[in-house]
């Protein structure tokens, strides 16, 4: 038996999660349970309880860090854990989202003396050796993300000429080549979709104001997604990218995650996309 683990933990919990994104490959809940049970048997442990979040985004970690948000099974498990308990999950991506949140999570579990066992790599992330290594690694990634954010800010400043500088072209734009240089041009079909999203967002907000509710019955994410597909066939709109192995991958142009962002109030929402398109069109008109 791996010496990183207690021989007889007080209780053993299993945690399973599936995301709310259709385009993300992942194990089913049943597959995760089987992996966790097999792993527990190999350690002579008995599962006390399974906590399961179905169709929940990784943002549930934010709800744990900011407890005023809606509780999830993850948070209930976290609240239930006591010293010498063990949490088993099938793979590391089930519990970790953003790097900064991962650091907060493992530090809290470490301080609680609760072990986090990852079945597919047979590792306890909260033992001293693993924790120190992972903590330093996460700190390095956090620093890298800060540097990347600064670089993206510079790229945005340099992007006023609408030169395409690699990556994935923004929603509402296609890429064209002029004089051996790549430029962004307005994609008229995607512009139509964005304008429709803005209209539906306004209708949703009007409904929320009239009904004084936090969630819309007529303009939920799924209903808006269906309306857009019925009108524009957004499920058939893809973008092609080349991965590190040189393989071309086709990703949805308007996934549910993208639609959620466009409908939100963050800096990359539908209003921001349409403002970018407007600036581009004004620049073209001046030529």
50-68, pLDDT tens digit by residue? Answer: 988 876 654 444 444 434 4
Strand order through the sheet with 123-124: 49-53, 12-17, 86-89, 115-118, 123-124
Query: Of 78, 112, 141, which marks where a domain is finished?
Result: 141
85 within a domain of the structure (yes/no): yes
Residue 230 is encoded by which pair of tokens?
């019925």
pLDDT at 239: 79
Mean pLDDT over the full length of the chain: 78
**Same structural domain for residues 113 and 212?**
no
Whole-angstrom distance, CA of residue 239 vs CA of residue 247: 14
Beta carbons of 61 and 74 less than 8 angstroms apart: yes
Q: E strands, the chain, where?
A: 12-17, 49-53, 86-89, 115-118, 123-124, 173-178, 181-186, 238-242, 248-252
Query: Of 141, 176, 211, which marks where a domain is finished?
Result: 141
- Domain interval for residue 221: 188-286
CATH number of the domain residue 53 falls in: 3.40.50.1390
Which stretch of 12-16, 136-140, 279-283 has the lowest confidence by average pLDDT? 136-140
* Residue 144 pLDDT greater than 70, yes or no: no
**Same structural domain for residues 136 and 201?**
no
**Same structural domain for residues 19 and 99?**
yes
**Same structural domain for residues 123 and 227?**
no
pLDDT at 283: 82
pLDDT at 60: 43
**Same structural domain for residues 136 and 237?**
no
User: In which band, very low, low, confident or very high, does the pLDDT at 48 lie, cut at 50, 70 and 90?
Assistant: very high
pLDDT at 194: 96
SS3 assignment for 24-77: CCCCCHHHHHHHHHHHHHHCCCCCCEEEEECCCCCCHHHHHHCCCCCCCHHHHH
* Residue 150 pLDDT greater than 60, yes or no: no
The single residue listed with the structure tokens 């903590």 is 135
Whole-angstrom distance, CA of residue 117 vs CA of residue 104: 17
64 within a domain of the structure (yes/no): yes
**Same structural domain for residues 201 and 94?**
no
Beta carbons of 108 and 72 less than 8 angstroms apart: no
Instruction: Report the percentage of the chain scoring pLDDT > 90.
Output: 23
C-alpha distances in angstroms, 124 versus 52, 89, 103? 20, 11, 15
Q: 163: which DSSP letter? A: B
User: In which band, very low, low, confident or very high, does the pLDDT at 35 lie, cut at 50, 70 and 90?
Assistant: very high
153 within a domain of the structure (yes/no): no
62 within a domain of the structure (yes/no): yes
Is 103 or 159 the better-scoring residue by pLDDT?
A: 103
Is 238 or 144 the better-scoring residue by pLDDT?
A: 238
Closest by alpha carbon to 99, among 149, 54, 50? 149
195-238, pLDDT tens digit by residue? Answer: 999 999 999 888 888 887 777 878 888 999 999 999 999 999 98
**Same structural domain for residues 135 and 35?**
yes
Please state the rounded mean pLDDT for residues 119-127. Answer: 78
1 within a domain of the structure (yes/no): no
**Same structural domain for residues 136 and 45?**
yes
User: In which band, very low, low, confident or very high, does the pLDDT at 254 lie, cut at 50, 70 and 90?
Assistant: very high
Domain count, the chain: 2
Predicted TM-score (pTM) above 0.85 = no
Is 170 or 188 the better-scoring residue by pLDDT?
A: 188
Whole-angstrom distance, CA of residue 192 vs CA of residue 137: 44
Count of other CB atoms within 10 angstroms of residue 10: 13
* Residue 97 pLDDT greater than 50, yes or no: yes
210 within a domain of the structure (yes/no): yes
pLDDT at 190: 94
255 within a domain of the structure (yes/no): yes
**Same structural domain for residues 26 and 130?**
yes
């Amino acid at each position: 038996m791996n010496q990183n683990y207690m021989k007889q933990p007080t209780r053993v919990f299993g945690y399973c999660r599936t995301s709310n994104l259709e385009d993300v490959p992942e194990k089913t809940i049943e597959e995760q349970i089987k992996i966790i049970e097999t792993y527990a048997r190999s350690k002579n442990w008995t599962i006390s309880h399974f906590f399961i979040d179905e169709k929940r985004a990784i943002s549930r970690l934010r709800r744990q860090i900011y407890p005023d948000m809606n509780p999830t099974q993850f948070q209930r498990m976290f609240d239930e854990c006591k010293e010498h308990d063990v949490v088993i999950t099938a793979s590391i991506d089930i519990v970790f989202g953003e790097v900064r949140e991962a650091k907060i999570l493992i530090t809290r579990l470490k301080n609680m003396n609760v072990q986090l066992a990852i079945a597919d790599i047979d590792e306890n992330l909260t033992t001293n050796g693993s924790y120190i290594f992972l903590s330093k690694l996460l700190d390095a990634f956090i620093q890298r993300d800060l540097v990347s954010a600064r670089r993206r800010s510079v790229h945005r400043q340099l992007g006023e000429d609408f030169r395409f500088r690699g990556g994935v072209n923004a929603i509402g734009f296609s890429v064209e080549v002029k004089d051996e240089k790549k430029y962004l041009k307005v994609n008229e079909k995607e512009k139509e979709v964005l304008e429709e999203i803005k209209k539906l967002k306004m209708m949703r907000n009007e409904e929320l104001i009239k009904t004084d509710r936090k969630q819309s019955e007529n303009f939920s994410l799924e209903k808006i997604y269906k309306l857009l597909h019925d009108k524009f066939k957004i499920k058939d709109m893809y973008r092609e990218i080349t991965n590190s192995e040189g393989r071309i991958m086709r990703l949805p142009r308007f996934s549910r995650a993208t639609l959620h962002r466009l409908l939100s109030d963050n800096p990359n929402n539908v209003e921001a996309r349409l403002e970018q398109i407007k600036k581009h069109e004004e620049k073209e008109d001046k030529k």
